[in-house]
């Protein structure tokens, strides 16, 4: 069994929003709509707050969580929203009637109606890349190497990110996509700092949908349930 997901190391994320920008560019997401949103959490007072500099903050990326038990699939009247064998949740635009039941049922508000095509869209986890062994664009373009992609059944230590930065062909204004598919990988187990598996591994709020994406946050108070 395969369960593709993204792990975000929140201690490494610098809030550069490269994940948001690259996602919009490669998927043609219109202005005002997002497949991946970056939220600033805080600043908030630490539990040991005494002076004004005892505050923390971090950046939290929110997108389709490709849930284990997706509510969007349950309510879809046509089967347009469906779960794949690789664990991802996809939309068959040929079946979508734009009723938006799926968007209303999503606990994370990460679906939107494409007004021009009259179909609902969301993060596909770059299925066009991952189906060929590649990395999602938001992982490949993460400047802080805070995002990792992998199979939950193999453990989050095996999740991968680029080992080195990818290069663009500036002369032809083109990105060298072949670099997404072969080598140049580093795992979260290799790159990530030590963390407590019991208290520092988090998920977005579970509304019975069992979100798949993983967030690691060390030495700070998790606010993702609020």
* Assigned domain for 112 exists: no
pLDDT of residue 226: 78
* Assigned domain for 59 exists: yes
DSSP letters spanning 9-33? ETTT-----HHHHHHHHHHTPPTT-
**Phi, psi (degrees; rounded to nearest 5) at 135:** -100, 145
Residues near 224 by beta carbon (within 8 Å), at least 6 away in sequence: 41, 60, 202, 203, 204, 205, 215
pLDDT at 181 over 90: no
* Assigned domain for 48 exists: yes
CA dist., res. 223 & res. 13, Å (int): 16
* Assigned domain for 72 exists: no
Tally of structural domains, the chain: 1
pLDDT level of residue 184 (50, 70, 90 thresholds): confident
- Alpha-carbon separation of residue 82 from 67, 69, 196, 214 (angstroms): 11, 11, 34, 21
* Assigned domain for 199 exists: yes
Least trusted range by pLDDT, from 76-85, 91-100, 171-180, 181-190: 171-180
CA dist., res. 113 & res. 101, Å (int): 11
* Assigned domain for 34 exists: yes
Residue span of the structural domain in which 13 resides: 4-65+123-216
> pTM above 0.85?
yes
pLDDT of residue 68: 97
Residue pLDDT, tens place only, 5-16: 999 999 999 999
* Assigned domain for 134 exists: yes
70 close to 89: Cβ distance less than 8 angstroms: yes
Q: What is the CATH number of the domain that holds 32?
A: 3.30.70.20
Which carries the bigger pLDDT value, residue 200 or residue 182? 200
Residue pLDDT, tens place only, 84-126: 999 999 999 999 999 999 999 999 999 999 999 999 999 999 9
Residues near 86 by beta carbon (within 8 Å), at least 6 away in sequence: 2, 3, 4, 130, 131
CA dist., res. 35 & res. 164, Å (int): 25
* Assigned domain for 42 exists: yes
Least trusted range by pLDDT, from 23-27, 42-46, 116-120, 171-175: 171-175
Q: Which helix (H) or strand (E) holds 186?
A: strand 185-187
102 close to 120: Cβ distance less than 8 angstroms: yes
């Amino acid at each position: 069994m395969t369960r593709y997901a993204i792990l975000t190391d929140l201690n490494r994320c610098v809030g550069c929003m490269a994940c948001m920008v690259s996602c919009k560019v490669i998927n043609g997401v219109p202005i005002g709509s997002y497949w991946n949103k970056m939220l600033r959490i805080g600043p908030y007072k630490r539990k040991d707050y005494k002076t004004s500099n005892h505050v923390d903050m971090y950046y939290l990326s929110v997108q389709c969580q490709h849930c284990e038990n997706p509510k969007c699939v349950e309510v879809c009247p046509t089967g347009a929203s469906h779960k794949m064998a690789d664990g991802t949740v996809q939309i068959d635009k040929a079946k979508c009637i734009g009723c938006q039941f799926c968007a209303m049922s999503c606990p994370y508000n990460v679906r939107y109606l494409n007004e021009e095509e009259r179909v609902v869209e969301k993060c596909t986890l770059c299925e066009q890349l991952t189906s060929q062994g590649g990395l999602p664009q938001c992982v490949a373009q993460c400047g802080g190497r805070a995002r990792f992609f992998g199979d939950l059944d193999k453990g989050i230590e095996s999740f991968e990110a680029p080992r080195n930065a990818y290069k663009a062909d500036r002369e032809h204004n083109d990105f060298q996509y072949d670099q997404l598919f072969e080598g140049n990988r580093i795992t979260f187990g290799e790159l990530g700092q030590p963390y407590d598996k019991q208290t520092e591994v988090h998920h977005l709020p579970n509304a019975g949908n069992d979100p798949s994406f993983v967030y690691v946050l060390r030495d700070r108070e998790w606010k993702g349930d609020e």
